[in-house]
């Protein structure tokens, strides 16, 4: 049920539809939580700095590919100081299998320099400060705030964007619209892990080309008219 549908009819009818929509969303997250009570992102990291770097690397790249590149990087460059000491050329060499590796290496070196100069070598804990760093956009900031600092944020990647519009949960034409919609409808007790559940659901079940609807734990709650049957 979308917002416009929930606002049709008498006040009593609208109230009932809104309650039904809220109950449906709560049940969706209850089932996802039951299957995976403690979800986590699939990027490897050892501290907030390496998490930030890994998420910057993950733009237009797979988590598997990023993890493969950072396996040899993080043991020698797990602080801004060590990353600067490594240098941009050596960093490019270590991450050359990742898409856009030249731009990402440049951003991470400058990001490291700014962390030292502006934040006493610490990853900042506010969205504004995070987004002021090279290569850090809203999604990256949300991931770091959520995983490193326990903030109840929604990081919208391509999987989550697809799932939210397809089921639907919070339809939107832009990632930020989906993010704001989800923040408004996801029950607070599920908000901490909501984006992990939705990303993993989109990555492994509600896939772009051929979703595995017969294996989906929320298929009966999904309103998408094009569910697969085999």
Annotation marks residue 120 as catalytic: no
Q: Which is the catalytic residue, given 17, 104, 157, 220?
A: 157
Q: d(Cα 136, Cα 152) in Å, to the nearest integer? A: 18
- Alpha-carbon dihedral sign for residues 100, 102, 103, 109: positive
As given in the structure block, the two tokens for residue 79 are 């602080």
As given in the structure block, the two tokens for residue 189 are 């007790």
DSSP 214: G
As given in the structure block, the two tokens for residue 139 are 């999604």
Q: Is 99 annotated as a binding residue?
A: no
- List, in sequence order, the alpha helices (H) in 46-100: 48-57, 63-73, 80-86, 88-94
**3-state secondary structure at position 113:** helix
CB neighbour list of residue 172: distance below 8 Å, 6 or more residues apart: 161, 164, 165, 178, 179, 180, 181
Q: Is 106 annotated as a binding residue?
A: no
Annotation marks residue 139 as catalytic: yes
Q: Is 48 annotated as a binding residue?
A: no
Q: Is 206 annotated as a binding residue?
A: yes
Q: Which is the catalytic residue, given 139, 173, 188, 207?
A: 139
* Whether 24 contacts 1, CB under 8 Å: yes
In the annotated binding site for [4Fe-4S] cluster, the residues are 206, 213, 216, 222
Q: Which residues are catalytic?
A: 139, 157
| Residues of each annotated binding site | 206, 213, 216, 222
């Amino acid at each position: 049920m979308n917002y416009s549908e929930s606002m049709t009819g008498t006040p009593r009818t609208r109230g009932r539809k809104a309650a039904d929509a809220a109950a449906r969303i709560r049940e969706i997250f209850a089932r996802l939580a039951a299957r995976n009570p403690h979800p986590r992102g699939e990027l490897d990291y050892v501290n907030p700095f390496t998490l930030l770097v890994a998420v910057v690397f993950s733009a237009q790249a797979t988590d598997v590919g990023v993890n493969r590149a950072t396996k040899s990087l993080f043991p020698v460059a797990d602080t801004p100081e060590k990353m600067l000491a490594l240098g941009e050329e050596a960093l490019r060499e270590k991450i050359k299998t990742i898409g856009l590796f030249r731009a990402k290496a440049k951003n991470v070196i400058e990001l490291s320099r700014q962390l030292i100069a502006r934040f006493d070598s610490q990853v900042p804990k506010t969205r504004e400060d995070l987004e002021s760093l090279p290569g850090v956009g809203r999604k990256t900031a949300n991931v770091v705030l959520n995983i490193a600092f326990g903030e109840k944020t929604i990081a919208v990647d391509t999987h989550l964007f697809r799932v939210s519009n397809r089921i639907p949960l919070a339809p939107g034409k832009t990632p930020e619209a989906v993010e704001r919609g989800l923040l408004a409808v996801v029950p607070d007790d599920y908000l901490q892990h909501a984006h992990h559940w939705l990303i993993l659901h989109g990555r492994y079940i509600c896939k772009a080309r051929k979703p595995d609807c017969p294996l989906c734990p929320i298929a009966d709650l999904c309103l998408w008219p094009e569910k697969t049957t085999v």
